[in-house]
Amino acid sequence: MLDEASQLLDAAGRPRVCVIGDVMLDVYVWGDVSRISQEGPIPVLRVERREQRMGGAGNLAVMLQALGAQVQLVGLVGADPAGEQARARMADAGLDDAGLVASQERPTATKTRYLGYVQSAGRAMQQIVRVDEEVTDAPSAEESRRVRSAAVQAVGHADVVVLQDMGKGLLDAELITHLVQEARDQGKPLIVDPELTEDYSPYAGATCILPNRFEAQMATGVALRGEEDYRRAAHTLLDRLELKGVVIKLDRDGIYFATADGQDRHMTTRARDVADITGAGDMVTAAFVFGRACGADYATAVDLANFAAGLEVGYHGARAISRRRLAEALRAEAEPTARKIKTRNEVKALVDELREAGRRIAFTNGCFDLLHYGHVQLLQYSRRQGDVLIVGLNSDASARTLKGPGRPINSEDVRSRILASLADVDYVVLFEEQSVLSLIQDVRPDVLVKGGDYTVEGVVGHEFVRSYGGEVKLAPVAEGVSTTELIEKIARNHERADRGNPA
């Protein structure tokens, strides 16, 4: 199925999607935790940076925009600094804020997450607390009228309509029913990401609904413990709400979908390193909506959504995944070794993503010409120093400059693929320069590793890495093995063989 998803992305245009729902601002406060407060048994967070992102329906809109859709977001924000930040983040994502109604009566819903890590111990990021600032009462009659007017106008220009209902008061039963009917009258598919509630009757007549596990349980009364439960809950919603499709997001258990024309399928998750599940549900919705808007059938759209969610959980907080990134990941799934080999530009973007996901980056480098036990020992030691190991590999020209004529024995393509096939190596990046310093400056590793035949002061890049608090470590030396010695031994053996077998 991933082949179909990959082909879909390659051929996809820019479908028009209208997103209507509860717009929020997500604030992330990142820092280091190195001690416990004397005032109580609580961690002390030393703040290092802050970041604002769109949340709720705004996050869904940003994700769809990153996938390549043309998105119109309709919602309500306060006439306050948080509302201004939300509009600025929309502009950053290339979104038009014309569909946002400014409220003089309620603040912009804001969720602030505080995340800390123990830098000295190399531990991954951990969310400490989340603080919500919001009003969940229904908006005034005038503000509801303005939102409805903006929504109806946006529906008229859309290929697909999405309701993102977070239960914050904006999407009341009257407005939902009106929008469902408006979409039906105009022949537009309407997809709902529903509220956690027992009453789904306002969603009746929608095209498709995407509840998560807990939402589906509450709406149907079915405890979702296995395949038959998933099927029963999905068909209960299909029949009760007269839908064409139901997609149930089952977090670690994947996705189950059923359609009115008789399709039933459970798609399990692929094994991933999970940094944070925040945003995974929105990613499922965004990728599914994008797939359907591009003409994909349910199975292909769900497979795309399931795969995209697996990427999303690798980041801290909700993060938009671009169409390019998703397409690359799909291609890499088909060729696991090739996906590890990165260009310089790719590795710059990669290390930013890894840091945001709280990963500790280890780095080592070399020619790795004829791979031997000493190399393997170095790579194993290097991998143990971090969560991710990036290996800088001298290009053929660079290796020739260092090692002399006749080297390397193996081409850079062969050496790259051999390294990438090793479990301890996460990524390989070629560098053309004789010195690896500029690549180290691009990567900014948490730990720089070289073999123990060096001194720390003799390691290229040691001053730079230490300047920002990184570490330089020397791996144990495997005595009696080196590429040069192997080449000389092969030559001697070949010479003896020639003497013993004269032409």
pLDDT in tens, 75-93: 999 999 999 999 999 999 9
Q: 395: helix, coil or strand?
A: coil
pLDDT tens for residues 408-436?
888 888 889 899 999 999 999 999 888 99
**Cβ neighbours, 10 Å, residue 408:** 22
| pLDDT(490) > 70 | no
pLDDT tens for residues 154-178?
999 999 999 999 989 899 999 999 9
* Four-CA torsion 344, 346, 349, 350, nearest 10 degrees: -100
| pLDDT(476) > 90 | no
282 and 321 Cβ atoms separated by less than 8 Å: no
pLDDT at 74: 96
Q: Which helix (H) or strand (E) holds 105?
A: none
Query: Could you give the CA distance from residue 461 to residue 441 in angstroms, rounded to a whole number?
Result: 8
Query: Could you give the CA distance from residue 94 to residue 380 in angstroms, rounded to a whole number?
Result: 44
Report the CATH number of the 338-490 domain: 3.40.50.620
The DSSP bridge partners found for residue 230 are none
Contacts with 201 (C-beta within 8 Å, 6 or more apart), sequence order:
173, 241
Query: Could you give the CA distance from residue 312 to residue 269 in angstroms, rounded to a whole number?
Result: 12
Chain mean pLDDT for the chain: 86
The DSSP bridge partners found for residue 247 are 257
Q: Which helix (H) or strand (E) holds 393?
A: strand 388-394
Mean pLDDT of 8-18: 80
Query: Could you give the CA distance from residue 180 to residue 172 in angstroms, rounded to a whole number?
Result: 12
The segment(s) of the chain belonging to CATH 3.40.1190.20 are 2-23+53-103+135-334
The DSSP bridge partners found for residue 117 are 32
pLDDT tens for residues 42-71?
899 989 889 899 999 999 999 899 888 999
Which CATH class for the 2-23+53-103+135-334 domain?
alpha beta
Query: Could you give the CA distance from residue 110 to residue 173 in angstroms, rounded to a whole number?
Result: 24
pLDDT tens for residues 120-131?
444 556 788 999
The segment(s) of the chain belonging to CATH 3.40.50.620 are 338-490
Q: 72: helix, coil or strand?
A: strand
Max Cα separation, the chain?
Answer: 101
Mean pLDDT of 447-470: 91
Q: DSSP characters for 225-291? A: -SHHHHHHHHHHHHHHHT-SEEEEE-GGG-EEEEETTS-EEEEPPPP---S--TTHHHHHHHHHHHH
Order the strands of the 16-21 sheet from edge to edge.
Answer: 100-103, 70-78, 16-21, 160-164, 190-193, 208-209, 245-249, 255-259, 264-267
Mean pLDDT of 306-314: 73
The catalytic residues are 282
**Cβ neighbours, 10 Å, residue 344:** 14
pLDDT at 277: 54
pLDDT at 337: 78
Most confident among 119-123, 396-400, 438-442 (mean pLDDT): 438-442
Q: How many residues does the chain have?
A: 503
| pLDDT(382) > 80 | yes
